[in-house]
Amino acid sequence: MLEIDNVTMRFGGLKAVKDVSLTVAAGDLAGLIGPNGAGKTTLFNVVCGQLRPSAGRVLFEGRDVTGWKPHRSIRLGLGRTFQITRPFGRLSLLDNVVIGAMCREKSLDRARQAALGRLAQVGLADRAQDTAQNLPLGLRKKLELARILATRPRMLLLDEVMGGLGPREIEEMSRTISQIHGEGVSIVLIEHVMPAVMSLCQRIAVINHGELIAVGSPQDIRADRRVIKAYLGESVAGDSPGGQGSAAASQTAAQAAAQATTASSATEA
Amino acid sequence: MTQAPRSQAPSHQAAPPLAADARTVRDPAAQAQTARDPAAGGGGGAPAGAPDAATPTAEGSSAAGSNDAAASAAAEPGGRLSAAAPAALGLAALLGLPALLEGSPFYLEILALVFLWGAMAGAWNIVSGYAGKFSLGHAAFFGLGAYASSILYARGGVSPWLGIPVGMALSVALAAFIGLVTLRLKGKYMALCTIAFVSLMEILAVHFRDLTGGSEGLMVPYEPGLANLTFANDHEKLVWAYVFAALALGVFLLCRRLERSPLGYRLAALREDEDAAEALGVNTLAVKLTSFGLSAALTSLGGSLYAQYMLWIEPQYVLSMELSTQFALFAIIGGVGSAVGPFLGAGLMFPLLTLSRSAFPGLPPGFNMLVYGLALIVAVLFFPKGLIALGPPLRRLARLIGRTGRARLGRRPAAGETAAGLNAAEGPAGSSHA
Ligand SMILES: Nc1ncnc2c1ncn2[C@@H]1O[C@H](COP(=O)(O)OP(=O)(O)OP(=O)(O)O)[C@@H](O)[C@H]1O
Ligand SMILES: [Mg+2]
């Protein structure tokens, strides 16, 4: 469904994404993980057209969408959320979502109906009339999700929708994501909250310093030497024998990732 | 720079009922004349009509503003009722005030220009208020409209009725060009860049003197007749007051409509966060260009009408920074991002300026800019949302008075009444650009 074909993104001298190739099949719920600054968000930016890649192509359902403006790819059904939420601050939550819904609905009335439905779906129905700028972080993440859902995407790239949330909110968000996936939306999830990624995703891709270093099932990823190395640094990985039987190491990888979560929530706040 | 604008209202007045004389006043040499209506300093009554004219629609908030559609929808039943009175009042003012003032050409002229400048501030507001793309280049469209219709008429004998759409089309084209160059820029950079286009246009107008009359300005032939959009002396000012009132009403209704349209939502999204808007399927470039083009076309229309009204234009005014600033200022003072705000701003500021000029004839030419600057600072510091921010408290007060009145009569307000009222009282949020 989504094909990322040898994509490189250069910022001056910095290669934020290096020659990454990745495919996501229809119906996938895939994870994209990696340490801070690995290039995850940049990859999303390239896929959704916020950035034009220095090299490589992006294909969505067989169509070359490389460098398409975001408003065009969203019409094909390729949508994304922003890591740092970007609400329309002075508009109500409802109007925020209405703007998303207008992507599919010509009439404002119908867009409003659709928007109310999406707000209900993420549990914000009772705050439809509140102004978006006063919303706490957890609810802003939900709003971000409701807004993009209103565009009726067929593939959704979610950039840390759990970042900075409390345990209960994370659980709630996980449930919402499963439900969206259950409705037939293919999903790619950037997330630092490892337990959630591990339980939600069927397949996980790991990037580090802009390079794709592993793709596989959650089990594979837990055991992958390069992944552990990426999260824990050279010394620990050097000691690790690699291959199988590194249950302890995978444990530590998960913990390291959990620490990364805290770090990323700090940046968001 | 120029003296003309400041003395326009008063200078018409200088030769009151005789429009033929007024023509001569339009002679560049006479432009520096200042007003001398002794009564002028005293009365601020006349211009009050403009705010009234606009008030009806202050009711209810725009979806495109910060207020939520559902809340205003909820307020609708009550809102309709309470909006009816001001709407009627406003319409009466629009139709009645010019007639009432016919005996005093000085005030009639102020009123007419309040309508015109209100409409121009309203047009500016479409791209700079609703869409948040701050332009200080709108004099370019005003001047282009004025010159296009006037040149076609004066040099080619083409009726202004045809010249107006030609000017509007040219302005849309110019807006597309300026837009492609500047609309990518953020905030102050865009403002600075748009200024450059005004200066460029002024230089061109001064340079091509065979066509434009150069810096002495361009005289528009005086051949009264509806076909020439020129009116004979007797009721000339009154007719123009109504023409500008119609323009004002048109711009106002258009903006109201815009606020409730999908385009209005898109403009609001653009203003709030361009990248997020784009990611949600808003073609931000198209929306920007559309609003800029619409705004430019209306401004151009105003410029052409102004030229027919004055029958004389000069580049130092119709293509000036001062005019550009004035469009922005009136809208900001009244309340940016609302349909009624620009008219409130024009209704307050223009009479204030004109009357103070006529009260103190010795004021230096830079006086307008000084007042604009001070007014802008005051507005930004104390009324960041503009005069429209005064609306909700006033309405609440009115409701309170109404309620006590009813209580005294032994009636209680319906339960829904107050709830809806409070919702509606939230008021649309303007964005302040300073
Ligand atoms: N627009 C840009 N211009 C220059 N450098 C950029 C730009 N965007 C990202 N970078 C750099 O590219 C690298 C990758 O950043 P990116 O935001 O993609 O990381 P990330 O994997 O999303 O990290 P995090 O987990 O912290 O969100 C970083 O070094 C960042 O500083
Ligand atoms: Mg990121």
10-residue block means of pLDDT along chain B (434 residues)?
37 30 33 34 32 34 37 37 61 73 82 94 93 91 95 90 95 93 80 89 90 84 81 80 92 92 93 93 93 96 94 91 89 86 89 80 73 75 75 72 60 36 30 34
CB within 8 Å: B69 and A112: yes
Return the structure tokens found at B110: 């102020």
| Residue ranges of domains in chain A, CATH in brackets | 2-85+154-268 (3.40.50.300)
Q: How far is B68 from chain A (nearest CA, A)?
A: 5
A207 lines ligand 1 (CB under 6 A): no
pLDDT in tens, chain A (269 residues): 899 999 999 998 888 999 999 999 999 999 999 888 899 999 999 999 999 999 999 999 989 999 899 999 999 999 999 999 999 999 999 999 999 999 998 899 999 999 999 999 998 999 988 999 889 998 999 999 999 999 999 999 999 999 888 899 999 999 999 999 999 999 999 998 888 989 999 999 999 998 898 898 888 888 888 878 877 665 444 444 444 444 444 444 555 555 544 444 444 43
Instruction: Please tell me the predicted confidence (pLDDT) of residue A164.
Output: 85
Q: Give domain status of residue B10, yes or no.
A: no
Instruction: Please tell me the predicted confidence (pLDDT) of residue A265.
Output: 43
CA A82 to ligand 2 centroid distance, Å: 9
Chain B partners within 8 Å of A91 (Cβ): 66, 68, 268-269, 272
CB within 8 Å: A87 and B268: no
CB within 8 Å: A112 and B268: no
Closest ligand 1 atom to residue A160 Cα is 27
d(CA B288, CA B133): 8
Instruction: Please tell me the predicted confidence (pLDDT) of residue B141.
Output: 96
Distance of CA A262 to the CA centre of its chain: 17
A34 lines ligand 1 (CB under 6 A): yes
CB within 8 Å: A129 and B261: no
Return the structure tokens found at A37: 């600054």
The percentage of residues in chain A with a pLDDT greater than 90, rounded to a whole number, is: 59
Size of interface A-B (CB pairs under 8 A): 108
Q: Give domain status of residue B327, yes or no.
A: no
Which ranges in B183-283 belong to alpha helices (H)?
A: 187-207, 209-212, 236-259, 262-272, 274-279
In chain B, the largest separation of any two C-alpha atoms, in whole Å, equals 76
A27 touches chain B (CB under 8 A): no
A93 lines ligand 1 (CB under 6 A): no
Residue A39 CB contacts under 8 Å (≥ 6 apart), including other chains: A9, A16, A17, A18, A20, A207, A209, A210
Q: Give domain status of residue B392, yes or no.
A: no
User: B127 near B291, Cβ under 8 Å?
Assistant: yes
DSSP string for B67-117: S-HHHHHHHHHHHHHHHHHHHHHHHHHHHHHHHHGGG-HHHHHHHHHHHHH
Q: How far is B271 from chain A (nearest CA, A)?
A: 8
What residue type is A88 in one-letter code?
Answer: F
Distance of CA B217 to the CA centre of its chain: 24
User: CA-CA distances (angstroms) from residue B18 to B15, B38, B236, B237, B332?
Assistant: 6, 19, 10, 10, 36
Which of A83, A88, A134, A157 to mutate to test binding with chain B, by most B CBs within 10 Å of its CB? A88
CB within 8 Å: B279 and A82: yes
Q: Give domain status of residue B104, yes or no.
A: yes
CA A45 to ligand 2 centroid distance, Å: 10
A95 touches chain B (CB under 8 A): yes
What residue type is B189 in one-letter code?
Answer: Y
ipTM of the complex: 0.84
User: B384 near B432, Cβ under 8 Å?
Assistant: yes
Closest ligand 1 atom to residue A44 Cα is 18
Closest ligand 1 atom to residue A34 Cα is 21
User: B293 near B285, Cβ under 8 Å?
Assistant: no
Return the structure tokens found at A177: 């994501």
- Closest residue, chain B, to A89 (C-alpha): B272
A42 lines ligand 1 (CB under 6 A): yes
**Mutual angle of helices A108-121 and B69-100, in 10-degree steps:** 150
Angle A172-A177-A178 from CA coordinates, rounded to 5°: 100
CA-based nearest residue to B56, from B88, B81, B78, B79: B88
Closest ligand 1 atom to residue A12 Cα is 4
CB within 8 Å: A98 and B279: no
Chain A partners within 8 Å of B70 (Cβ): 92, 94, 112, 128-129
A83 lines ligand 1 (CB under 6 A): yes
Domain that holds residue B299: 87-320
List the residue whose alpha carbon is closest to atom 10 of ligand 1: A16
A80, A92, A128 ranked by CB distance to B279: nearest: A80
d(CA B138, CA B125): 11
A179 lines ligand 1 (CB under 6 A): no
Q: Give domain status of residue B143, yes or no.
A: yes
B431 touches chain A (CB under 8 A): yes
Of the residues A9, A11, A18, which should be mutated to test ligand 1's pocket, given the most ligand atoms within 8 Å of the CB? A11
In chain A, the largest separation of any two C-alpha atoms, in whole Å, equals 62
Instruction: Please tell me the predicted confidence (pLDDT) of residue B24.
Output: 30
Residues 278-337 of B with CB under 8 A from A: 278-285
CB within 8 Å: B282 and A71: yes
Which of B261, B274, B280 to mutate to test binding with chain A, by most A CBs within 10 Å of its CB? B280
Domain count, chain B: 1
Instruction: Please tell me the predicted confidence (pLDDT) of residue B55.
Output: 34
Q: Give domain status of residue B135, yes or no.
A: yes
Chain A partners within 8 Å of B285 (Cβ): 69
Tokens 């895939």 found at: A30
Q: Give domain status of residue B103, yes or no.
A: yes
Q: Give domain status of residue B378, yes or no.
A: no
φ, ψ of residue B17 to 5 degrees: the values are -80, -15
pTM above 0.80, yes or no: no
Q: How far is A151 from chain B (nearest CA, A)?
A: 7
